Structure 1
Amino acid sequence: MSEPAYQTHLPGGQHWSLRLRRGTTMTLTASEPDTNVGLLMYNPENLLERLNLPDSLKCQHTFKLTRGNCLYSDMGRIFASIIEDDLGWHDPVGGNLHAGHMIDKGWQPVSFQAALNDWTQTGHDSFLIELAKYGLGKRDLAANLNVFSKVAADDDGHLSFVPGHCKAGDSVTLRFEMDTLVALHTCPHPLDPAAEYPKRGVGIALGTAAAPDENDVCWQHCDENARGFANNRLYHLGAG
C-alpha cells in the first residue's frame, strides 16, 4: 500500500462523496471516541448497481464486517475489500439516523439558518444531499455500513450500541476493487446513547494498492470471495 496521495478531515455531522478508481485505498481514522461514518457505494458507470449489505453478510456468514471481508454490490461484484482494521467490528445492520431518532433522543435540532455549517444533520438527509449530485434520490437509498460502530444483539434479538468500541486514532482501510462512487457522512449512529448530538470527525487518506492475488487475505477469507473476485475479473474484461 502506498503513502497517502491525498488527506483531508471531515468534521462531525458533515457529508461528502467522491468517485474512487479501482486500486485506490481509503483509510478512515477516527478523530474522537465513538466516531461513526455512514457509507454507501454505487457503480458510477451504472448507478442502478449499489452496495448490498444483506448479500455481503450472507455470503460471508457474518453479522459484522472486519479485515478480510468484502463489500458486495447487488450484482455479485466486490466494490471494496477491508484490508486493515484496528477494531474488528463494523456495524452493517444498525441503519441510519433520521429526524425521528433525534426527537426520540431529545437531541435539539439546530437549523442551517441558525448555525450555518454547524447545524445538526441526519445521516438520512446527508445521503440524500450527496446522492442528488448524481441524479439519485430516496428510491436509491440502500442499507448503509456504519464504520467504527458496534451493535450487539441480546438473546431476544434486541440491538444496542456498544459505547467505547471506537477510540480516537482507530483506523480502517478499504481497497477498491472496481471504480466506485462513495457517499459518506459523519453523523451519529441512530442507537448512539449520547445525551447531546455528538459531532465526531474522521481523517480520510487516499492512496493506492497493488491488485489482489489468490494469496490476498480477502480473497482467502471464504470461497464466495474468490467467486466475487472472479466476477470482478469478468466485469473488467467487459463481459460482466
Structure 2
Amino acid sequence: MRIQESQLDPARAVSDQRHAAGEPILFQLDKGQTLRIVDLEGNQAADVIFYNRDDPAEHYSATDTIQRQGGIYLTTGSVLRSNDARAMLTIVADTCGRHDTLGGHCAAESNTVRYALQKKYMHSCRDNYLIALQHADIGLTKRDLVPNINFFMNVPVTAGGDLKFDDGVSGPGKYVEMRAEMNLWVLISNCPQLNNPCNAYNPTPTQLLIWDPM
C-alpha cells in the first residue's frame, strides 16, 4: 500500500466529468495523458477495462499485470500490463492504497450464485459494458470482455485461497491516478451492485478528470 498525493491541479484538467452511479462510460485516453478516478462518497467500485486504441485486440491483462509486479493488489507504482505484456498505464498517485485485480465484474450469473436466484436479472457491470460497447460501435463486442480492475474495491484472499468481498478501504474523495503509456479506450462500469453491503447497498457517483502531459 503506497499512498501518494497528486501534484496535478483539477483546475487545469482538460476534462472533468461526473460519472453517474451505476452507469457505463467509454472514452478515449491519449498516450501521455493522466486519468484520475475519484471515489466521491466512499466505497464505490469502479470496474475498468483498458484497450489499445490502435489495436483493440490488445487489452488489459490481469495475469500479466500480477505476474510482472509480483502481487495481486494495485497501488502507486503499479504498471498495468496488456496481454502482450506491454505497459498500458502506470499508477502515479493513489490515496486509497489498494485496488482489486481478482474479483471480476458482477453479472447475471454471479448475482445468482452470490445472492439469490431472483437477483439474476438485476443490472450488472457486464450489462453496463455491453451497453457501452453496443452504442460506441468501435468493433468491440462481448467476446472482448476480459477480467477487469476493481478500483476502490477490497477483495482479500484468505489463507485457503478463497476470495472475500469485504468492506472497502476507500473513503470520500479518495482517488487513483494513472498515466497512459499508449492510446487507449477506457471502459468503465460505475458498479450498480445493490446486493453487496460494502457500498451500503447504495451505488454512488465518481468523478473522472484528464490532464494533458505537462
Match 2:111 to one of 99, 102, 107: 102
2:81 paired residue number: 72
Q: Per-residue CA shift, 1:158-211, capped at 9, x if unaligned?
A: 11122141111101101101100110011156993359753121011111235x
Q: CA RMSD in A?
A: 2.5
Deviation at 1:33, TM superposition (A): 2.0
2:43 paired residue number: 34
In the alignment, structure 1 residue 12 sits paired with structure 2 residue 14: no
What are the equivalent positions in structure 2 for 1:46-125 lying under 5 Å apart? 46-103=55-112, 104-105=114-115, 121-125=123-127
Match 2:203 to one of 175, 184, 199: 199
> Aligned letter for 2:132?
E
Distance 2:99 2:198 in 1: 19
Deviation at 1:90, TM superposition (A): 0.3
* 3-state SS in 1 of match to 2:179: strand
Residue segments in structure 2 that go unaligned for 5+ positions in a row: 1-7
Contact (CA 8 Å) 2:152, 2:168: kept in 1 or not? no
Normalising by structure 2, we get a TM-score of 0.85
Distance 2:16 2:199 in 1: 31
Distance 2:198 2:81 in 1: 32
Match 2:146 to one of 142, 148, 152: 142
Distance 1:23 1:190 in 2: 36
Distance 1:47 1:22 in 2: 15
- The verdict on how the C-alpha distance between 1:101 and 1:195 changes in structure 2, with shifts beyond 3 A counting, is farther
Normalising by structure 1, we get a TM-score of 0.77
Q: Return 14-23 or 129-138, whichever deviates more.
A: 129-138
Distance 1:101 1:138 in 2: 17
Contact (CA 8 Å) 2:89, 2:178: kept in 1 or not? yes
> Aligned letter for 1:57?
I
Deviation at 1:67, TM superposition (A): 0.3
- The verdict on how the C-alpha distance between 1:100 and 1:193 changes in structure 2, with shifts beyond 3 A counting, is farther
- The verdict on how the C-alpha distance between 1:63 and 1:162 changes in structure 2, with shifts beyond 3 A counting, is same
Match 1:180 to one of 167, 178, 184: 184
Contact (CA 8 Å) 1:31, 1:201: kept in 2 or not? yes
Deviation at 1:5, TM superposition (A): 1.6
Contact (CA 8 Å) 1:33, 1:168: kept in 2 or not? yes
Deviation at 1:56, TM superposition (A): 0.5
Contact (CA 8 Å) 2:39, 2:207: kept in 1 or not? yes
> Aligned letter for 2:115?
K
Contact (CA 8 Å) 1:11, 1:199: kept in 2 or not? no
Distance 2:183 2:76 in 1: 20
**How many residues in Structure 1 have an aligned counterpart in Structure 2?**
202
* 3-state SS in 2 of match to 1:165: coil
Contact (CA 8 Å) 1:4, 1:207: kept in 2 or not? yes
Distance 1:26 1:81 in 2: 10
Deviation at 1:73, TM superposition (A): 1.0
Residue segments in structure 1 that go unaligned for 5+ positions in a row: 112-119, 211-240
> Aligned letter for 1:105?
Y
Bigger-Rg structure (1/2)? 1
